[in-house]
Amino acid sequence: MELEQPIAIVLCTVTHKRNAVTLAKALINDGCAVCVNIIEDVTSVYRWDDNVVEDIECQLVIKTAASHVDEAYELMLSMHPYDVPEWVVINAGASEPYIDWMKNNLK
């Protein structure tokens, strides 16, 4: 498998840690991400249905190859509890050893 640089860092929020862990494990088990960090107790303030809403969420930081972002997105959509889940993709570079590790852990 050829891994292209840049790699992708994807931000996605979810309601509860159990949802975050379930989604993270699915992304890893399916081979469309190599690592997912879960940051608990993130305060999110946003507009929804013409109201300003404040929620406590978990922030997922998903590391994958750019070539796997669409597949990861489809899997996330099939499992995510939100009507409009956050899916923010940031292109990044990585060290050669990290990229080698990614190559061995993505499908």
Q: Name the pTM for this structure.
A: 0.93
Q: Please determine, for residue 68, whether its predicted confidence score (pLDDT) is greater than 90.
A: yes
pLDDT tens profile 2-36: 555 679 999 999 999 999 999 999 999 999 999 99
Query: What mean pLDDT is predicted for residues 32-45?
Result: 98
pLDDT value, residue 95: 87
Instruction: Identify the pLDDT of residue 4.
Output: 54
- Cα distances (Å, whole numbers) of residue 39 to 25, 96, 99: 15, 26, 23
Distance separating alpha carbons of residues 90 and 26, to the nearest angstrom: 21
Mean local confidence (pLDDT), 75-81: 96
